[in-house]
């Protein structure tokens, strides 16, 4: 570390963007093109621009929008990391968010000319993560699991219409364990988060499955 530390802290955001691919939980990593640690893999994020961002959330959404995600259905703060050494450019503050991307919108996330992307298993990212992003990813996953464990339904991972079994599979992918169908559906009924879509069924080589959508006042 030979370069001079900045006088003001660097303020940036990072997002753990989760989705489902083949009913498996995946998180978005990007391969850095720019100054610190070029070629390294990291959570998407970057330095905020006070002249255009109205908040940290705003900044995080702006940076993801640059990666072809116009509207994210959800963004939740996890924690803020800080310190003089976690970013080689100097004293930095980084607010971590997690977000859920509907599985049918995965193709909308594309690699740019300069940055490669990868959807990886959040428990075994494979790529060595730069900065303290390994720890951050673990925290984001923990926050997501905790929320689902407490009964929140990760409907934002699914298309606008879905079956109850799809909701169950999404929860199982997040929690990493199988859930009993009967008990799970009991919970779904007691919560008021789901509404039947009349006449909409998924057909296959079995009994058709009723489709549902998130109720009006649903918040994850």
Q: In sequence order, which residues have a C-beta less than 8 Å from that of residue 78 and are 6 or more positions away?
A: 16, 96, 97, 98, 136, 139, 140, 143
Q: Is 40 exposed, middle or buried (0-12, 13-18, 19+ CB in 10 A)?
A: middle
Rounded to whole angstroms, what are the CA distances from 92 to 12, 64, 82, 89? 8, 20, 6, 8
Q: Binding to its own copies by residue 135, rule CB under 8 A?
A: no
Residue 43 or 170: which CB sits closer to DNA? 170
Choices 77-85, 118-126, 176-184, 190-198 (CB under 8 A): range interacting with its own copies: 77-85
Rounded to an integer, what distance in angstroms lies between the CA atom of residue 154 and that of residue 165?
13
Q: How far is the CB of 16 from its own copies (least distance, A)?
A: 16
Q: How far is the CB of 185 from DNA (least distance, A)?
A: 5
Choices 23-31, 70-78, 119-127, 162-170 (CB under 7 A): range interacting with DNA: 162-170
Tokens of 206: 């079995």
Q: Alpha carbon 78 to chain centroid distance?
A: 11
Which among 58, 53, 55, 60 has a CA at the least distance from the CA of 13? Answer: 60
Which among 76, 80, 85, 102 has a CA at the least distance from the CA of 16? Answer: 76
Rounded to an integer, what distance in angstroms lies between the CA atom of residue 108 and that of residue 99?
15
> Scanning the structure block, which residue is given the tokens 């998407």?
44
Partner interacting with residue 106 (select from DNA, its own copies, none; CB below 5-8 Å by kind): none
Residue 11 or 211: which CB sits closer to its own copies? 11
40-59 residues in contact with its own copies (CB under 8 A) are 48, 50, 54-57
Residue 152 or 164: which CB sits closer to DNA? 164
Binding mask 180-219 for DNA (x = CB under 7 A): xxxx-xxx--x------------xxxxxxxx---------
Interface residues with DNA (CB under 7 A) are 163-165, 180-183, 185-187, 190, 203-210
Residues of this chain that interact with its own copies (CB under 8 A) are 5-9, 11, 48, 50, 54-57, 77, 79-80, 82-84, 90-91, 93, 95
């Amino acid at each position: 570390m030979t370069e001079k530390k900045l006088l003001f802290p660097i303020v940036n955001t990072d997002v753990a963007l989760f989705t489902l691919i083949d009913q498996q939980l995946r998180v978005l990593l990007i391969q850095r093109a720019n100054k610190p640690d070029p070629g390294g893999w990291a959570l998407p994020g970057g330095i905020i621009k006070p002249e255009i961002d109205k908040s940290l959330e705003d900044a995080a959404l702006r940076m993801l929008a640059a990666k072809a995600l116009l509207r994210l259905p959800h963004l939740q703060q996890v924690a803020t990391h800080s310190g003089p050494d976690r970013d080689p450019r100097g004293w930095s503050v980084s607010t971590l968010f997690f977000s859920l991307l509907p599985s049918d919108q995965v193709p909308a996330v594309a690699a740019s000319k300069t940055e490669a992307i990868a959807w990886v298993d959040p428990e075994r990212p494979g790529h060595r993560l730069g900065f303290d992003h390994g720890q951050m990813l673990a925290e984001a996953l923990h926050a997501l699991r905790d929320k689902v464990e407490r009964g929140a339904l990760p409907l934002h991972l699914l298309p606008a219409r879905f079956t109850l079994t799809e909701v169950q599979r999404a929860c199982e992918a997040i929690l990493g364990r199988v859930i009993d169908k009967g008990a799970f559906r009991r919970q779904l009924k007691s919560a008021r988060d789901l509404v039947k879509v009349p006449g909409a069924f998924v057909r296959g080589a079995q009994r058709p499955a009723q489709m549902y959508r998130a109720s009006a006042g649903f918040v994850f």
